[in-house]
Amino acid sequence: MVQITWLGHANFELKFENGEVLLLDPWIEGNPAYPKDYKIEKADAIAVSHGHGDHLGDVVSLAKRFESKVAAMVEVAGFCASKGVKYTIGFNKGGTVDLGFVKLTMTHALHSSSITDGDKMIYGGEPVGFILTFKDGRRAYFAGDTAIFSELALYAEIYHPELAFLPIGNFYTMGPEEAAYAARLLKVDQLKASGMSTTWSAASCNQIFQASFAVGILSTQIISYSGYVVLARKVLIQVSM
Ligand code: NI
């Protein structure tokens, strides 16, 4: 059982059976959807999708505090190392890194990536997503920020992800309708929507529900409206909101 907690925006905390913790795109400072008073107790590893501040956010400070391994595109990992992060794993699309408790495969993302450092803007390499392979062989797909792209069908064929974290902001990334099509390409059983929509409404939940239903991907039900949407056919992973 992997416990997944949504911490606002694209920030997720995954707790594994033996207590290991993986953070995805941790952004706390300035994140309006970060749950008030929530404390991150540890982070064995942090995966970062790209250099934008709402994703790279608190990576450096958390990695220093918890001595976390930071897995990211080489340029983003290099930036973290230059800021004093001890353990960085800079790799590239198509590569897989084994963290011991989970494997990360770096995927494509259709977006941009740069890092703001003071008044400078630094090249952040290409933006990416990750396929997460759990110990029992099950897989999840974390898209980061992206538009829809057709290679998602290949990811379905190669990785068979059971779970997808997709953005639906519809401004910097794809919106709910494209996310529904993306979920269909990915053939996932569960769809989690994350992204620029830090203020959520029943309307946006309904939008993605209806869109996913319209493209026939799921016999969906909405489990919760509490600031986050989970469309599930079966719940394989414990999720807290
Ligand atoms: Ni971005």
Each domain of the chain, given as residue ranges in start order, spans 3-240
Span 41-89, pLDDT tens digits: 999 999 999 999 999 999 999 999 999 999 999 999 999 999 999 999 9
The residues, ordered by sequence, that sit 6+ positions from 168 with a Cβ below 8 Å of its Cβ are 174, 175, 176, 179, 193, 194, 195, 197, 204, 208
Q: What is the pLDDT of residue 210?
A: 57
Cα–chain center distance at 214: 25
Ligand 1 mean position to 111 CA, how many Å?
7
Q: Which CATH architecture has domain 3-240?
A: 4-Layer Sandwich (3.60)
Pairing of strands 96-98, 128-134: unpaired
Using a CB cutoff of 5 Å, list residues around ligand 1, an ion: 52, 145
Q: What is the pLDDT of residue 4?
A: 76
| pTM of the predicted protein model | 0.85
Query: Residue 110's closest CA among 148, 73, 156, 72?
Result: 148
Rounded Cα gap, residues 168 and 175, in angstroms: 4
Ligand 1 mean position to 114 CA, how many Å?
9
Ligand 1 mean position to 18 CA, how many Å?
32
Four-point Cα dihedral 12, 171, 190, 52, nearest 10: -30
Ligand 1 mean position to 72 CA, how many Å?
14
Ligand 1 mean position to 234 CA, how many Å?
30
pLDDT in tens, the chain (241 residues): 677 777 877 888 888 889 999 999 999 999 887 888 889 999 999 999 999 999 999 999 999 999 999 999 999 999 999 999 999 999 999 999 999 999 999 999 999 999 999 999 999 999 999 999 988 888 888 999 999 999 999 999 999 887 788 887 778 888 777 877 887 788 776 555 554 444 444 455 555 555 555 555 443 433 333 333 444 333 334 444 3
Q: What is the pLDDT of residue 208?
A: 57
Ligand 1 mean position to 17 CA, how many Å?
31
Ligand 1 mean position to 94 CA, how many Å?
20
Ligand 1 mean position to 39 CA, how many Å?
25
Q: What is the pLDDT of residue 204?
A: 53
CB contact burial 143-167 (16+ within 10 A = b; e otherwise): bbbbebbeebeebbeebebbbbbbb
Ligand 1 mean position to 186 CA, how many Å?
21
**What is the DSSP code string of 202-230?**
HHHHHHHHHHHHHTT-----B---SSS-E
H or E element: which one contains 176? Answer: helix 176-186
